[in-house]
Structure 1
Amino acid sequence: MDFELRSVFCCLPKMERGVVKVLGGDPKGNNFLYTNERSVIIRNVQNPAIADIYSQHAHPAIVAKYSPSGFYIASGDSSGKVRIWDTTQKDHILKYNYQVFSGRIKDIAWTEDSKRLAVVGEGRSSFGSVFLWDSGSSVGQINGHSKVINSVDFKQNRPYRMATAGDDFTSVLFEGPPFKFCLSHTDHNKFVNCVRFSPDGSLYATAGVDGKIFLYEGTSGSKVGSLADDKAHSGGVNAICWNSDGTHMLSVSADKTAKVWDIATRKAVTTFTMGQDLLDHQMGCLWQGQDLITVSLSGYINFLDQNNPSKPRLIVKGHSKSIQCLTVHKTKDMNKIFTGSHEGGINQWDAKTGVCESFDGKGHTNLVSSIGVEDSVGDLVSCSMDDTVRFTNINSKRHSAGDVVKLNSQPRCSALGSGGHVIVLLVDKIVLLKDRKYGIGIEETEYEPQAVSVHPGGVTVAIGGSDANVHLYSIEGNSLRDNQQVLPVKGPVTDLQFSPNGNFLLVGDANKVLTVFSVADGYKVENNYYGHHAKVVAVAWAPNSQYFASSGMDTIVTVWTLGNNENRLKMQDCHPLHHITALTWIDDNTLVTTSGDACVKQWDIIHGKMCPHMGEDS
């Protein structure tokens, strides 16, 4: 067997209220950059479903910028480290790694010759540094600020200038190289969030929490004026960017609007109203060729339409936090992937195109622990640590207050049976729901139930416990009956699943072992499968019931062949630096995985081809 990555459905930017999100743009206009935790995401402007991920930071990445040559990206993290890496090769070879200062890096800028870097942020002894990219040698000093520096930019032609903006309400201009203090401005009366030079270097602009945008002459630094007569926005301005010829500027604000400004008249020519919700605050922007891109506090990426300011032409959706569970729903027209995340969000993905749609209305408010589709009525059934089970129609994709079942404690997971049955596991009890109403479950168990699966026949329920046993139950009407049959395994059960044909039960445990029971032989052990280096997290059968996959805390996904322990495929670093939280199959050759990186990946599994990892034990 072998495998190939078919597609990546990427995470959104990681957002924080009141914290600007800096976007980076490819000098050729093809891609744009943002960060989420330890990952730097590269997305195609024309088709955002095309994406690449760089995941080599040891600490959360904050900002990433292309070099003007386009050959390298510099990315900075919360520890003060900058990594400079190659963009031309798939494995993104690291060129240089610098500890610039100790603290959060907030912005990065390159000179036009791709030789010098300026880095600013929350350093302890200093708030910024400017140095040669290939040696780390200093080419000046960044001073003139008494507090955190939020933004930096270079004039992209000679004579070089560098400008910074910070929390001390000050913007500073430097001349060089070597760069040294030239002058400062205190026109803003609140934090200055952003500074950017025009492409021709004739002007630079600063934007602040006071809602104002000021313009300065690019070489001398003398004040030219401001956009609008007073405030450019009624809320704080979080970010600004210029178009390619410097005649217009895009600004985004906490007033939930984005504006395009005519620099000659200093008037707004287009205003985009992005919504009325807190999550509609606009936190970052990028003018890439003809595309105007903004990022909302929700993490949604908006492609604006100047011909229709009331509605973006495209909104890129997804998850910004860890994905905890997934399921696949197959229809005649398309395969849909549903995912539930750590913050309670549920999304639907088109498996072919990667287009993501979110669910409307007030949904879960905490981690979604499991989801499944009830085909007979077209409901997505989800349980969450907000102590609820929700039934949401997959066609309307709208949460309703009337489709919620309240639980008296947090559920661990759930499984769907036929005829409207749902089994929900709590800490020390088992809940049976029938047609969204409580049935007769098990009020108290002598073990902690951890995982559940319902046999395709709809009667037998297997529940794995922390006592290293699988307990069998039967559904009888609206009641759950204990079969008094216990199947011992090698360790506390972490996940289990009946095969689609109902002939086998697959169990993964905390002692790194997979056990397959033969249902027809009275649950006799068919085989034990060894290979993981840490506890098993999730298991899933292929539709043909001949292959199954497992993931572990070792970050490895393994595809196994039933009855042949040696014929297996190890998929390492599927989601670098993260263990796989959930996996499932679309068909016998397509595996879907999710993880803490908030991304969804589809893999082509090529059966019958030998792999170097095959036959290796732990």
Structure 2
Amino acid sequence: MAQLAETYASVPGTERGRGILVAGDAKSGSIVYCNGRSVIIRSLQDPSKVEVYGEHGYPVTVARFSPNGEWVASGDASGTVRVWARNEDRTLRFEIRALSGSIDDLDWSPDGQRIVVCGDGKGSTFVKAFLWDSGSTVGEFDGHSKRVLSCAFKPTRPFRIVSCGEDYLVNFYEGPPFRFKASFRDHTNFVNCIRFSPDGSKFLSVGSDKNGFLFDGKTGEMLGTLSSEDGHTGSIYAASWSPNGKQVLTVSADKTAKIWDISTEGSGKVNTTFSFSDIGEVEDMQVGCLWMGEYIVTISLGGVINYLSLSNPNTPSRSLSGHLRSITALTVAKVGEVVTLYSSSYDGVIIKWKVGSGFLGRLPKNGTINSATYMVAQGNELMTCGMDHKFRRVPLSGDAYTTEAEALDLGELPRDLDVASKCPEIAIVPIEKSVILLRQGTVASSIDVDYVASAAALSPDGDELVVGGRNGKLYVYSVKGDTLTQEAVLEKHRGEISAVRYSPDGSMIASGDLNREAVVWDRITREVKVKNMLYHTARINAVAWSPDSSKVATTSVDSSIYVYDVSKPASARVAIRNAHLGGVSALVFVDAQTLASGGDDACVRIWAVAA
């Protein structure tokens, strides 16, 4: 059997030009955010404690805890809101199609009975409030003509709702049942975020016009503004009040976060400025924030979660990163007794993880945003190749990284990458009609082939390689010096070869195809050793061997992982179903009993596999 041991969570999904909502539950010290179709719940004190909810059928755009912390309401791009329990089963309590377009924000009433949502109504309805256990509407929300980006419920009685959006308006509603009361046209660009103070006495709106306005929470009367002196020089995307309601945190496209002192009369003056970039990196734009208890956090466009300290505004006290996009490759680096895990994603980010504790660091992109589609760690080097047609060798030293990488232009899109584990200076890269043998990062030889290459692997000692073809055949070549000579053709697959790897002891070859079949071959006899490995329901994406060569694992678009003991029939497999939302794209054994996987949900998971 196999058991989930750890989840290395994706970071909040971001979009340039828009802010994001990060909500919190002060009782549990948890935050909730969204990435793709996943809702992530994470402890701020111990970020390794992760819960993932993946029941939405469309990308999730916003999620919030109920006032008592027992429920979560999440909205998605289809306009659907789901209310579900924070128990182990994630019990669905209620579901409603609240809007006809994407939901951008939602909020609970302080009594936990009502929910207000806003977004792209694709018509005249951009805001809706309803009883969350029945769906009954509790008011009419006229006054907006374009997409509404943010809304908020007054946290104290008498209840009020405010909203703002792309029509530059701030609207004020009284109720329940809620009715339009007033509209304010002081912003000159999109109004991105609106929030009530904890005691409900004030609310603040911030926008792309770099301005912030403060209003009376009960009457809606404007009280004052955030001072332009030392203010933001770019769009303000989000705001969050301090627990005592005397200060406000704002974040901006100018790559800063600011804390404002709010006077009793209702005006704001900058108290502290946090700067996140001295070199103008777009990814350092700050697009989300949360002030919860003792924690002050911001979210950058690149997905980095920054913990801020008032005592040291120059440097975040802690930064957490992860993946924003689908995982493309995984590899394990072993230097002495130190074992680390590397993962790459579609947006070109490479993250280093320590099994047992999580995030260790983020590898610079080396001037490219292209993903490392294939990645192998050997010794003190990380070798990658990807969509920019380049092969790179990145030297690693302890926990430090270098941006210097030897790049070799392959001329075409690589189809795979493998390195001889006992001779790490030798690597193999197949391209569409050629097989390239690399030695010390340079081309040692290249042969043209009369088939379309789709995958390849090197034996541990580097004296043999196997190339999988789009025609479903495996071509075995001997390697003598820099000369490749075809020795055999292995035929059993009925679809394009999608993955192939030698066992660490060099005695077997595992291969998988697009027709969902996996095969284990005996390297010496070239006969099938394990057959009937036909349990996936879709294409196989990757195969991986345990270090002791006793197990082979396969994974697929069908979100499943199967682990086979090569000494037993395939029917004795260990199944891990629903391993990743959207499919599993990468797989590697950390040790004989530990398996790591990465998927379309941008998460990395660690599995304990029983002997």
What TM-score comes out, normalization by structure 2 length? 0.96
Q: Which amino acid aligns with 1:393?
A: P
Q: Which amino acid aligns with 1:295?
A: I
Whether 2:488 is the aligned partner of 1:485: answer: yes
Deviates more, 1:333-342 or 1:40-49: 333-342
State the alpha-carbon separation in 2 of the partners of residues 527 and 360 from structure 1: 41
**CA contact 2:348–2:365 (8 Å) conserved in 1:** no
State the alpha-carbon separation in 1 of the partners of residues 82 and 475 from structure 2: 51
* Equivalent residue number for residue 93 of structure 1: 91
State the alpha-carbon separation in 1 of the partners of residues 418 and 330 from structure 2: 12
* Equivalent residue number for residue 408 of structure 1: 411
State the alpha-carbon separation in 2 of the partners of residues 155 and 223 from structure 1: 16
Quote how far apart the aligned CAs of 1:231 are.
7.6
SS across alignment from 1:394: strand
Equivalent of 1:573 in 578, 593, 596? 578
* Equivalent residue number for residue 191 of structure 1: 190
**CA pair 229-18 structure 1, distance change in 2 beyond 3 A:** closer
**CA contact 1:160–1:177 (8 Å) conserved in 2:** yes
SS across alignment from 1:279: helix
Whether 2:12 is the aligned partner of 1:50: answer: no
* Equivalent residue number for residue 334 of structure 1: 338
State the alpha-carbon separation in 1 of the partners of residues 351 and 365 from structure 2: 13
State the alpha-carbon separation in 2 of the partners of residues 269 and 230 from structure 1: 11
**CA contact 1:27–1:66 (8 Å) conserved in 2:** no
Q: Which amino acid aligns with 1:344?
A: G
State the alpha-carbon separation in 2 of the partners of residues 336 and 230 from structure 1: 47
State the alpha-carbon separation in 1 of the partners of residues 471 and 545 from structure 2: 24
* Equivalent residue number for residue 436 of structure 2: 431
Whether 2:241 is the aligned partner of 1:245: answer: no
Whether 2:523 is the aligned partner of 1:525: answer: no
SS across alignment from 1:441: strand
Task: Kindly report the root-mean-square deviation, in angstroms, between the aligned alpha carbons of the 2 structures.
Answer: 1.4
State the alpha-carbon separation in 2 of the partners of residues 365 and 230 from structure 1: 37
State the alpha-carbon separation in 2 of the partners of residues 166 and 191 from structure 1: 6
Whether 2:347 is the aligned partner of 1:348: answer: no
Per-residue displacement from partner, 1:90-145 (whole Å, max 9, x unpaired)? Answer: 12111111001111100001100000010000011210101100000010011111
1:384-533 aligned at under 5 Å gives the runs 384-395=386-397, 396-400=400-404, 403-417=406-420, 418=423, 420-442=425-447, 444-477=448-481, 479-491=482-494, 492-520=496-524, 522-528=525-531, 529-533=533-537
State the alpha-carbon separation in 1 of the partners of residues 271 and 319 from structure 2: 22
Q: Which amino acid aligns with 2:526?
A: Y
State the alpha-carbon separation in 1 of the partners of residues 195 and 467 from structure 2: 59
**CA contact 2:39–2:63 (8 Å) conserved in 1:** yes
Equivalent of 2:548 in 541, 544, 547? 544
State the alpha-carbon separation in 1 of the partners of residues 523 and 335 from structure 2: 29
**CA pair 484-35 structure 1, distance change in 2 beyond 3 A:** same
* Equivalent residue number for residue 283 of structure 1: 287
* Equivalent residue number for residue 108 of structure 1: 106
Quote how far apart the aligned CAs of 1:16 are.
1.0
**CA pair 27-68 structure 1, distance change in 2 beyond 3 A:** farther
Equivalent of 1:585 in 576, 579, 589? 589
**CA contact 1:27–1:68 (8 Å) conserved in 2:** no
Whether 2:204 is the aligned partner of 1:201: answer: no
SS across alignment from 2:500: strand
Per-residue displacement from partner, 1:324-361 (whole Å, max 9, x unpaired)? Answer: 11111123453211111111221111112102311125
State the alpha-carbon separation in 2 of the partners of residues 172 and 213 from structure 1: 15
Quote how far apart the aligned CAs of 1:188 are.
1.0
Quote how far apart the aligned CAs of 1:175 are.
0.7
* Equivalent residue number for residue 315 of structure 2: 311
**CA contact 2:7–2:605 (8 Å) conserved in 1:** yes
SS across alignment from 1:554: coil
SS across alignment from 1:295: strand
1:145-294 aligned at under 5 Å gives the runs 145-229=144-228, 232-264=231-263, 266-275=268-277, 276-294=280-298
Whether 2:50 is the aligned partner of 1:62: answer: no
Q: Which amino acid aligns with 2:433?
A: D
State the alpha-carbon separation in 2 of the partners of residues 283 and 339 from structure 1: 25
1:29-40 aligned at under 5 Å gives the runs 30-40=29-39
Per-residue displacement from partner, 1:16-62 (whole Å, max 9, x unpaired)? Answer: 11011111111415100111110111111111121111111101000
State the alpha-carbon separation in 2 of the partners of residues 493 and 512 from structure 1: 10
State the alpha-carbon separation in 2 of the partners of residues 104 and 18 from structure 1: 16
State the alpha-carbon separation in 1 of the partners of residues 247 and 429 from structure 2: 56
State the alpha-carbon separation in 1 of the partners of residues 100 and 515 from structure 2: 40
Deviates more, 1:277-286 or 1:560-569: 560-569
Question: 5+ unaligned residues in a row in structure 1: which ranges?
Answer: 608-618
Quote how far apart the aligned CAs of 1:229 are.
4.5
* Equivalent residue number for residue 560 of structure 1: 564
* Equivalent residue number for residue 115 of structure 2: 117
SS across alignment from 2:445: coil
**CA contact 1:335–1:352 (8 Å) conserved in 2:** no
**CA contact 1:526–1:563 (8 Å) conserved in 2:** no
State the alpha-carbon separation in 2 of the partners of residues 245 and 354 from structure 1: 33
Deviates more, 1:499-508 or 1:108-117: 499-508
Per-residue displacement from partner, 1:182-241 (whole Å, max 9, x unpaired)? Answer: 111111111111111101111111101111111111101111111215683111111111
- Identity level (%): 34
Question: 5+ unaligned residues in a row in structure 2: which ranges?
Answer: none
Q: Which amino acid aligns with 2:330?
A: L
**CA contact 1:328–1:335 (8 Å) conserved in 2:** yes
Per-residue displacement from partner, 1:461-502 (whole Å, max 9, x unpaired)? Answer: 11111121111112222x241233111122221111111111
**CA contact 1:559–1:570 (8 Å) conserved in 2:** yes
Paired residues in the alignment total 598
SS across alignment from 1:14: coil
Whether 2:414 is the aligned partner of 1:382: answer: no
**CA contact 2:230–2:270 (8 Å) conserved in 1:** no
State the alpha-carbon separation in 1 of the partners of residues 425 and 310 from structure 2: 48
**CA contact 2:138–2:177 (8 Å) conserved in 1:** yes
